């Protein structure tokens, strides 16, 4: 609720450009808006507004009309050359009639009179936000439908016909199956394409069902241009207009010719061999052999003793069928969390266990299997044995490790690019990564978290590649305005990385966004404090500042170690997490060794 206006989440997802020359009005509206929107960029005149519009993704423009240098309407006119549909809200006095006519010509439909009513302003912004959200939702649905259509066109056969049964559309898959070219096929009648001789008049049944306005599904026989027969698993249905009148028919299907012919073959084979039990058993044995070769299988007693195993299981672990019987599966399995009791308990709950398991090869090498444990029952329904089936996933795990390693190298390289952009050595990102890993271990993070932080820490300043060289390379201190621009590198880095769902990129975006937040809440960009700051952000903040102070930069000389430590003591609980400062002070020799190793 804002001044009596219910605000949805739509507005909080948007970035606003606000242009106003009056400082009092500007400060009041910025104060009111900054907590209600995702981000707000502020300009004092139209020229500044145009510059910000070109640099950022803007969702809504909020502007005064009368301003020095360039007025609001000239600014909007230029913006609409680039983005014709950008939503604009103008703030105007009652006597600005000429300007309002110009605003209408520019397609501006939202305006707020001065003095500004915050309630009316927020209502106007909320209305636009809902429209934007609706457009985005509609576009997402359109994209989803387009993808559905594309997937259907690639994987299935699609055909449409008019009320007389003449084909009006067919996708490439359907035309290819027919043997005709596109122009020939689209002039044919359905009755010329489908047959009814061996499929129990399915074609006529399909016609009658769809003409009655219902869905028909079944196997229907079709014929190719060369006279050969094909079979389609088809769903046919009518298409209605807004008056609920059938205007055409559509069918979607899959080519099941091979499966249908194979079924016919099996029916013939079974008919010919119905009295030959031995032949049937022979088929079953072949199916069992195929299963045995494809899957590693072992069965054991309820105590875990191996009662038997197929060749695949024995070969994967380096045993013969005879020697493996001397062991228990529990002895082969190296997982500390694996117990027969756990399996039996799951069976009682009518569950099947599927989990990643570590097994020991006869030569000592570790093998990783994806294992499934299922119960074997007697005629009374009691579990008498345990059957386990295993798939070797070592190659898959190695591939995942290689992918992770590659992602790490990419992140490290991008981090070095950002540092080189700001004329800093690439060794800085390597030292920050090493410091971060060390501090994370001492802080008590898990091995997985520590490894993840080491990989994403180099990306903390990636947003600097979007900062102008004149600011990055300026010797000496930056002005207030320059520093405000420099601060945007945290959010810019986050935006670069936040579009991926992969854990590495997600955590890298967090580090980029939060490494300049301060423990007491005085940092940027979001003023987070204490545990609101992700532990990765708190750790990288210490690592980054520690390395920056110890080493010379374009705008400063290197600090003596004693002065660096004094600074961290002074900033404990202010800039930095006190626990991390304590860890730094207690392990300064190790931190120096890391610095020397990456000098």
pLDDT in tens, 29-48: 899 888 888 999 999 999 99
**Whether the predicted pLDDT of 405 surpasses 80:** no
pLDDT computed for residue 281 by the predictor: 46
Helix (H, G, I), strand (E, B) or coil at 366: strand
Q: What is the pLDDT of residue 6?
A: 44
Task: Over range 422-430, report the average pLDDT.
Answer: 63
Question: Which segment, 46-55, 255-264, 502-511, is predicted with the most confidence on average?
Answer: 46-55
Asked if the model's pLDDT at residue 571 lies above 80, the reply is: yes
Residue scoring higher pLDDT (91 or 524): 524
Residue 1 confidence (pLDDT): 40
Q: Is the dihedral of CA 89, 90, 95, 97 positive or negative?
A: negative
| Contact predicate 75/44, CB 8 Å | no
Q: Which two tokens stand for residue 357?
A: 């398991």
Phi and psi angles of residue 465, each rounded to the nearest 5 degrees, phi first: -70, -15
Lowest mean pLDDT among 20-34, 181-195, 204-218, 334-348: 334-348
Q: Write down the mean pLDDT value for the chain.
A: 80
pLDDT number for residue 355: 77
**pLDDT score of 198:** 47
Cα–Cα–Cα angle for 93, 95, 99, nearest 5°?
80
- Give the mean pLDDT of 508-537: 93
Mean pLDDT, residues 188-201 taken together: 70
**pLDDT exceeds 70 at position 125:** yes
pLDDT tens per residue across span 243-289: 889 989 988 888 878 777 766 665 666 556 555 545 544 444 544 44
Report residue 445's pLDDT band, with 50, 70 and 90 as the boundaries.
very high
CA distances from 443 to 457, 582, 587 (A): 16, 10, 12
pLDDT at 568 over 90: yes
pLDDT at 43: 94
DSSP 180: S
Neighbours of 261 (CB within 10 A): 13
Alpha helices in 382-461 (DSSP H): 394-421, 427-443, 447-456
Give me the mean pLDDT over the 152-160 stretch: 79
Residue 391 confidence (pLDDT) above 90: no
> Most confidently modeled of 242-251, 337-346, 377-386?
242-251
Residue 534's pLDDT band (cuts 50, 70, 90): very high
What confidence score (pLDDT) does residue 404 get? Answer: 58
Is it the case that residue 232 has pLDDT exceeding 50? yes
| DSSP designation for 457 | G
What pLDDT does 334 receive?
A: 56
Q: What is the pLDDT of residues 165-175, one digit of tens each?
A: 899 988 888 88
* CA–CA gap between residue 546 and residue 55 (Å, rounded): 32
Round to whole Å and give the CA distance between 49 and 61.
Answer: 9
Question: Is the pLDDT confidence value at 519 over 90?
Answer: yes
3-state secondary structure of 233: strand
From residue 47, alpha-carbon distances to 14, 28, 53, 72, 79 in Å are 22, 22, 10, 9, 11
The confidence score (pLDDT) of residue 199 equals 42
pLDDT at 84 over 80: yes
Q: Nearest 5°: phi and psi at 219?
A: -90, 125
pLDDT at 291: 46
Per-residue pLDDT reduced to its tens digit, 291-334: 444 467 887 888 878 888 888 888 888 888 888 887 776 667 75
Mean per-residue pLDDT for 559-563? 92
E strand residue ranges, 262-382: 296-300, 306-309, 353-360, 366-377
Share of the chain above pLDDT 70, in %: 82
Secondary structure string (H, E, C) spanning 94-160: CCCHHHHHHHHHCCCCEEEECCCCHHHHHHHHHHHHHHHHHHHHHHHHHHHHHHHHHHHHHHCEEEE
Domains in the chain, ordered, with CATH?
11-137 (3.40.50.2300), 156-260 (3.30.450.20), 287-392 (3.30.450.20), 400-597 (1.10.3210.10)
In 349-393, where does DSSP find H-type helix? none
Confidence at residue 61, expressed as pLDDT on a 0 to 100 scale = 93
pLDDT exceeds cutoff 70 at 424: no
Is residue 3 predicted with pLDDT exceeding 50? no
* Residue 2 pLDDT level (bands cut at 50, 70, 90): very low
pTM equals 0.39
d(CA 116, CA 110): 13
């Amino acid at each position: 609720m804002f001044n009596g206006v219910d605000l949805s989440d739509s507005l909080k997802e948007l970035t606003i450009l606000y242009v106003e020359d009056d400082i009092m009005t500007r400060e009041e509206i910025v104060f009111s808006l900054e907590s209600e929107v995702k981000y707000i960029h502020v300009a004092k005149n139209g020229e500044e507004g145009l510059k910000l519009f070109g640099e950022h993704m803007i969702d809504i423009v909020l502007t005064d009309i009368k301003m020095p240098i360039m007025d609001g309407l000239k600014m909007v006119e230029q913006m609409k050359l680039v983005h014709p549909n950008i939503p604009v809200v103008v703030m105007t006095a009652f006597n600005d009639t000429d300007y309002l006519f110009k605003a209408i010509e520019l397609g501006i439909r939202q305006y707020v009179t001065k003095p500004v009513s915050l309630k009316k302003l927020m209502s106007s912004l909320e209305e636009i936000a809902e429209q934007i959200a609706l457009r985005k939702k509609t576009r997402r649905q359109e994209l989803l439908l387009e993808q559905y259509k594309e997937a259907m066109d690639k994987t299935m056969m699609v055909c449409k016909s008019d009320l007389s049964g003449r084909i009006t559309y067919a996708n490439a898959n359907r035309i290819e199956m027919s043997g005709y070219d596109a122009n020939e096929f689209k002039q044919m009648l359905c009755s010329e394409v489908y047959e009814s001789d061996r499929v129990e008049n399915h074609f006529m049944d399909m016609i009658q069902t769809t003409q009655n306005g219902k869905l028909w599904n079944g196997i229907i026989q079709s014929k190719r241009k060369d006279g050969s027969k094909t079979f389609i698993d088809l769903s046919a249905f009518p298409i209605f207009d807004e008056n609920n009148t059938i205007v055409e028919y559509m069918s979607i299907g899959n080519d099941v010719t091979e499966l249908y012919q194979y079924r016919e073959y099996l029916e013939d084979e079974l008919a010919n061999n119905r009295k030959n039990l031995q032949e049937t058993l022979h088929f079953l044995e072949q199916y069992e052999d195929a299963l045995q070769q494809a899957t590693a299988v072992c069965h054991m007693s309820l105590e875990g003793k191996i009662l038997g195993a197929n060749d695949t299981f024995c070969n994967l672990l380096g045993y013969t069928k005879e020697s493996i019987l001397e062991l228990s599966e529990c002895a082969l399995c190296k997982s500390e969390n694996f117990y027969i009791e756990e399996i039996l308990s799951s069976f009682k709950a009518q569950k099947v266990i599927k989990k990643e398991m570590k097994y020991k090869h006869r030569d000592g090498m570790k093998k990783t299997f994806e294992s499934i444990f299922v119960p074997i029952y007697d005629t009374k329904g009691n579990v008498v044995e345990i059957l386990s089936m295993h798939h070797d996933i070592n190659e898959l795990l190695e591939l995942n490790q290689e992918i992770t390693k590659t992602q790490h190298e990419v992140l490290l390289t991008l981090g070095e690019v950002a540092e080189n952009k700001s004329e800093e050595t690439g060794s800085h990102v390597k030292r920050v990564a090493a410091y971060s890993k060390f501090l994370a271990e001492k802080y008590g993070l898990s091995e997985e978290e520590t490894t993840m932080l080491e990989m994403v820490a180099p990306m903390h300043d990636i947003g600097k590649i979007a900062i102008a060289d004149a600011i990055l390379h300026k010797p000496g201190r930056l002005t207030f305005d320059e520093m405000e621009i420099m601060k945007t590198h945290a959010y810019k880095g986050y935006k670069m990385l936040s579009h991926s769902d992969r854990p590495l990129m997600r955590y890298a975006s967090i580090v980029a966004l939060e490494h300049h937040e301060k423990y007491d809440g005085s940092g940027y960009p979001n003023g987070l404090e204490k545990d609101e700051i992700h532990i990765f952000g708190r750790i990288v903040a210490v690592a980054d500042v520690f390395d920056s102070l110890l080493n010379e930069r374009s705008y400063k000389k290197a600090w003596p170690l004693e002065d660096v430590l004094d600074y961290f003591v002074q900033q404990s609980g202010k800039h930095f997490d006190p626990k991390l400062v304590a860890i730094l002070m207690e392990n300064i020799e190790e931190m120096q060794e890391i610095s020397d190793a990456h000098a």
